Amino acid sequence: MIDSQCVAFDAEVLICGSISTGDCYSYHVVKEEYKKTAEYPWNVELQGHSVIKCDVEAGTGEDKNIVTLLSFGGSPYHGRHTLMMRYQSVWSGESSKKVENRWLPLANGEIIGRDNDDLQGARALISGTNKDLLFVTHNRCHIKVIDMKSYRYISDVQNAVLPVSNENRASFHCFVLLKTNTFVLISEDESFLSNTTNIKRTLY
């Protein structure tokens, strides 16, 4: 599966689509088996998309087998998507199933990606003091910050342009959280620390 996105969840590796297929699978690292979990809508084109784990729902017993996943990506040329899925482990048994593993649009209809944003190969992390900010780094060396409650962009972000060379597209790169609002980014032959601070809650 070329350019698939994977998320670790308990004893599972969740494989969420690829260029060649919209099918999603769970690989159980103990059982060493695969199970199909879901599929993307037929009209979603996956070209360097991103999938992140938003949260694990608090609770006991089977409630701990539920997690929220966010998938986004696209470009002005291939269309964009922003979908969310509440995933319940397919290994927990049908009798305890509480949610339907299905990719759905955001309730407010928001789409991640503005104007000419190229999100192919974008990378994202959740940070912020309250873990409610989505940091997205993407082609043309930009970092965007999105409020996870409304999925609207936050303006007036300090250090919003990544200090990489003009030849570096900052696409399909490595983006790792070190501490709150501080990241390391590795792209091609460049690496640097990014500290995105003084974030004002002005949405647009």
pLDDT tens-place string over residues 108-131: 888 898 878 888 889 999 988 888
What is the pLDDT, as a whole number, of residue 96? 62
In 89-140, which ranges are E strands? 104-105, 123-127, 133-138
- What band does 87 get if pLDDT is binned at 50, 70 and 90? very high
Interval 44-66 mean pLDDT = 75
Between 141 and 68, name the one with better pLDDT: 68
Q: Is the dihedral of CA 107, 80, 1, 8 positive or negative?
A: negative
**What whole-number distance in Å separates Cα of residue 37 and Cα of residue 58?**
22
pLDDT band, residue 46 (cuts 50/70/90): very high
Per the prediction, the chain carries an average pLDDT of 83
HSE value, Cβ hemisphere, 13 Å, CA-based, for 183: 25
- Helix/strand/coil for 184: strand
Neighbouring C-beta atoms of residue 177, cutoff 10 Å: 13
- pLDDT higher at 163 or 197: 163
Give 40-43 contacts, CB < 8 A, sequence gap 24+: 40/71, 40/81, 40/83, 40/103, 41/83, 41/103
Least confident window among 16-25, 38-47, 130-139: 130-139
What is the rounded distance in angstroms from the CA atom of residue 111 to the CA atom of residue 85?
A: 15
Catalogue the E-assigned strands of 101-164: 104-105, 123-127, 133-138, 142-147
CA gap 168, 140 in Å, rounded: 8
Residue 150 identity: S
Quick one: what percent of the chain has pLDDT higher than 70?
Answer: 85
pTM (2 d.p.): 0.84
Q: Please give the span between the terminal C-alpha atoms of the chain, in angstroms, as a whole number.
A: 36
Which carries the bigger pLDDT value, residue 13 or residue 127? 13
Tens digit of each residue's pLDDT (9 = 90 or more) over 139-190: 877 788 899 888 888 877 766 777 777 666 777 888 888 888 788 888 777 7
The answer to whether the beta carbons of residues 166 and 148 sit under 8 Å apart is no
Strands (E), 77-181: 79-88, 104-105, 123-127, 133-138, 142-147, 174-179
- Is residue 16 within 8 A of residue 22, CB to CB? The reply is no
